[in-house]
């Protein structure tokens, strides 16, 4: 999947005139890229379109229009676009009550390393977590993690040939298994693979 360049972006003025429709299109697209892992954890799979939306929104909010600032935003968000042999996801631990969230984040240290995906009955795929910076320490984990799932050629081929996709969490304080992953999500993720 190609990375974004300045040529792919709308000017602030163009974006302002197209923002509502673009936002609706992206929200529709994201419905096929969201995978709930139980009631309090979700994987939001990123791709070129979700990152274009994120960059456009950041440029709008920060009123960035100079080349250097635009390149800086592209440098932040381009690494979250899949490379053709992987999936990249924002993993969120979501509790609406702040006290409950704080308590659970203390119980879920290291959860980002216990998320998994599986193609058919091939090897489980563990993510490479938080490559940009550490988000867990000895006391608690973060509510947001960035995960990269690397697939082998065999796993890619099996998915493209119709193999089931499963996902889950096997942390001692959180166990979830989704088998199979919904077909709309599976199809959307296959599109990320070359």
The domain segmentation of the chain, as residue ranges, is 1-31+48-81, 35-45+83-194
Q: What is the mean pLDDT of residues 1-14?
A: 93
Give the model's confidence band at 191: pLDDT under 50 very low, under 70 low, under 90 confident, else very high.
Answer: very high
User: Given a cut of 80, is residue 162 above it in pLDDT?
Assistant: yes
Q: CA 142 to CA 117: how far, in whole Å?
A: 21
Q: Please tell me the predicted confidence (pLDDT) of residue 69.
A: 95
User: Given a cut of 90, is residue 131 above it in pLDDT?
Assistant: no
Q: What is the mean pLDDT of residues 41-62?
A: 97
User: Given a cut of 70, is residue 133 above it in pLDDT?
Assistant: no
pLDDT, the chain, mean: 95
What six digits make up the tokens of 123? 């090897």
User: Given a cut of 90, is residue 188 above it in pLDDT?
Assistant: yes
Q: What does DSSP assign to residue 181?
A: P
Q: Please tell me the predicted confidence (pLDDT) of residue 12.
A: 95
Q: CA 171 to CA 121: how far, in whole Å?
A: 20
User: Given a cut of 90, is residue 186 above it in pLDDT?
Assistant: yes
161 close to 146: Cβ distance less than 8 angstroms:
no
**Fold (CATH) for 35-45+83-194:** Immunoglobulin-like (2.60.40)
Residue 84 has a CB neighbour count (10 Å cut-off) of 12
Q: Please tell me the predicted confidence (pLDDT) of residue 62.
A: 95
Residue 165, H or E segment: strand 165-171
Q: Please tell me the predicted confidence (pLDDT) of residue 194.
A: 80
Q: Please tell me the predicted confidence (pLDDT) of residue 142.
A: 93
User: Given a cut of 90, is residue 68 above it in pLDDT?
Assistant: yes
Q: CA 94 to CA 114: how far, in whole Å?
A: 17
Give CA angle at 39 (149, 89), nearest 5°.
Answer: 20
């Amino acid at each position: 999947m190609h990375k974004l360049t300045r040529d792919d972006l709308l000017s602030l003025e163009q974006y302002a005139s197209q923002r509502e429709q673009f936002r609706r299109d992206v929200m529709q697209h994201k419905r096929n890229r969201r995978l709930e892992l139980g009631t309090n954890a979700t994987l939001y799979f990123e791709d070129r379109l979700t990152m274009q939306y994120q960059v456009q929104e950041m440029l709008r909010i920060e009123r960035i229009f100079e080349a250097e600032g635009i390149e800086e935003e592209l440098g932040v968000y381009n690494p979250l676009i899949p490379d053709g042999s992987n999936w990249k996801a924002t993993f969120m631990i979501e509790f609406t009550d702040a006290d409950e969230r704080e308590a659970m984040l203390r119980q879920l240290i290291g959860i980002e390393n216990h998320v998994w995906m599986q193609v058919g009955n091939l090897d489980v795929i563990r993510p490479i977590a938080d490559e940009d910076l550490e988000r867990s320490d000895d006391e608690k984990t973060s509510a947001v993690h960035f995960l990269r799932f690397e697939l082998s050629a065999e796993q890619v081929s099996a998915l493209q040939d119709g193999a089931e996709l499963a996902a889950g969490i096997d942390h001692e304080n959180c166990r979830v298994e989704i088998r199979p992953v919904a077909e709309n999500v599976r199809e959307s993720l296959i599109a990320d693979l070359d």
